[in-house]
Chains A and B, each alone.
Chain A
Amino acid sequence: MKTRFFAVVSAIIRKDLQAELRSRELVGSMGLFALLSVLIFSFALELDRVARIEAVSGVLWVTIVFSSILGLNRSMAMERDQGNLEGLLIAPIDRGAIFVGKLVGNFLFTLTVGAVLLPLMTVLYNLTLITPTLILTLLLGILGFSVVGTLLAAMTVQTRARDALLPIVMMPVALPLLLLAVRATTGIVNVAPEDQWLAFLQLLGVLDVVFLALCFILFDFVIEE
């Protein structure tokens, strides 16, 4: 019997996508939350163009962060409901493969929401948001949140107050990611010179790598008793 790391990762991703395509529970609730959130912000902040440019990056990232938390909770709940996480843990597989598998699934689900948000906000806020640099920022930011969120959701899912606990635990840890993503996005939307935002984007990439390495290592400890 030969169990390979990437085969397990691929099996977990396929399983998550298959279950989601069938139920649409995760992306459905995340998408609906994101849509409502953006609409409420749009109507509440009837701003002039300058103020809108200032606010849009905050609205974008607050929406992404909270919808990703919603998705992370549900994604891990799926593993917990019928004891499925135990089913995975008794298999002769690297715990890192479970982490990477769940991470990729969470990343793809949040990315789907982000991909809907950008054109939607482009229309609502009358700004050019679909640019290669902004898409790159979105990718890096969502990757960072998914990395941190996957680890922390695996921790909080084992507690009674998991739904309330995840945002409380996640926000302080993910705050540097959020700040960097917002600063980079503001610079890009403002069409500011590169030297005013590129460093934030680069730092975001570095932080992603650091969090990825840390969370990969820590997952083993978090998931074991």
Chain B
Amino acid sequence: MIIETHALTKAYGLQPVLRKIDLGIERGEFVALLGANGSGKSTLLRLLCALSKPTAGTLKVGGWELPKEAAAVRSQIGLVSHKSLVYDNLTANENLLFFARVYGLNDIDGRIKRGLERVGLGKRGGDLVRTYSRGMLQRLSIARALLHDPDVLLLDEPYTGLDQDASGILDNLLQQAHGDGKTVVMVTHELDRAQRLAQRAIIISRGTIVLDAPMSTIDYLPARYTEVTGMTTR
């Protein structure tokens, strides 16, 4: 297991957000984390990338325990969120150069070149990020997240604000990353897309897992989602 949680609980004050989550994710899996707003899926993602500390329970990523061994975990994860996590006033090259220095990587020029080419921004590397479209920003965000070649790619609603073309490109990039052996955990509200891309669906409702099943066993995810959560889908 590359991700393992046991009785993982997170509360803000007296308000529990995640309640005793037991979860195991195999290396190389593509998992879709689904649920309504406020169900706890983004909180789970924040715990996985060591941005938040569990209130109770245990959490391991890559065999390292969080929050005790956070630095080791951080070197193994890449995060793509609905925010780009890059600097507007720098070019794509400069942004990636900055993160490469922060991560202490070697072969920086080669990594940047390959990273930008992989996401189709090879010819726009010298342009300021503030001139990028939303779709290009998200592709750059993927290049940034994969720059240090992490084992786990965590995505928090990466399709927010993307048009159809940009979403299609992002689909391909995620499939490519998964094909390269990355473990992908994606929080999304887009059930059709989740069914198409992911191998496994985990639905969280009110802080507990109400469905954890291989996607191949689910005929139509939106119907199953409504069945287990009692909520309609968009």
CA distance A84 to B50 in the complex (A): 15
A83 touches B84 (CB 8 A): yes
B72, CB-defined interface residue at 8 Å: yes
As a 0/1 sequence over residues 93 to 127 of chain B, the CB contacts with chain A under 8 angstroms (1 = contact) are: 01000110111110000000000000000000000
User: Which residue of B53, B86, B102, B148 is within 8 Å of A82 (Cβ)?
Assistant: B86
Residues of A within 8 A of B102 (CB): 3, 8, 11-12, 88, 91, 93
Is B52 part of the contact surface with A, judged by Cβ < 8 Å?
yes
Contacting chain A: which of B1-9, B73-81, B194-202? B73-81
Q: Check if B223 is an interface residue, CB within 8 A of chain A.
A: no
Question: In the complex the two chains form, is A81's CB within 8 Å of B72's CB?
Answer: no
Question: Contact: A3 with B103, CB < 8 Å?
Answer: yes
Q: Which residue of A lies closest to B104 (CB)?
A: A3
A138 to B217, CA, bound (A): 69
Check: A224 CB closer than 8 A to any chain B CB: yes
Interface residues of A in 1-20 (CB under 8 A from B): 1-4, 7-8, 10-12, 14-15, 18-20
A86-B79 contact, Cβ under 8 Å, with A81-B88, A225-B51:
yes
Known contacts A23-B89, A87-B99, A91-B99; is-contact A1 B79 (Cβ 8 Å): no
Asked if B220 lies at the interface with its beta carbon under 8 angstroms from chain A, I say no
Q: Point out the residues of chain B lying under 8 angstroms from A23, CB to CB.
A: 89
Residue of chain B at shortest CB distance from A24? B89
Contact of B81 among A10, A86, A93 (CB under 8 A): A86
For window 54-88 of A, CB contacts with B under 8 Å fall at 78, 81-84, 86-88
Complex Cα distance, B83 from A8, in Å, reads: 23
* B residues less than 8 Å from A89 (CB atoms): 51
Main secondary structure of the interface of B (DSSP, over half): loop
Q: Is B21 on the interface with A (CB-CB < 8 A)?
A: no
Minimum Cβ distance to chain A for residue B49 (Å): 5
CB of A90 within 8 A of chain B? yes
Q: A11-B98, A18-B94, A90-B79 known; A82 and B87 CB under 8 Å?
A: yes
Task: Verify if A22 is at the interface (C-beta below 8 Å from B).
Answer: yes
Please list 22 pairs of residues, one from A and one from B, whose beta carbons are closer than 8 Å in the complex, sorted by A's number: A1-B104, A3-B103, A8-B102, A12-B102, A15-B90, A18-B89, A22-B128, A25-B89, A82-B86, A82-B88, A83-B81, A83-B83, A83-B84, A86-B51, A87-B85, A90-B49, A90-B50, A92-B71, A92-B75, A225-B46, A225-B51, A225-B53
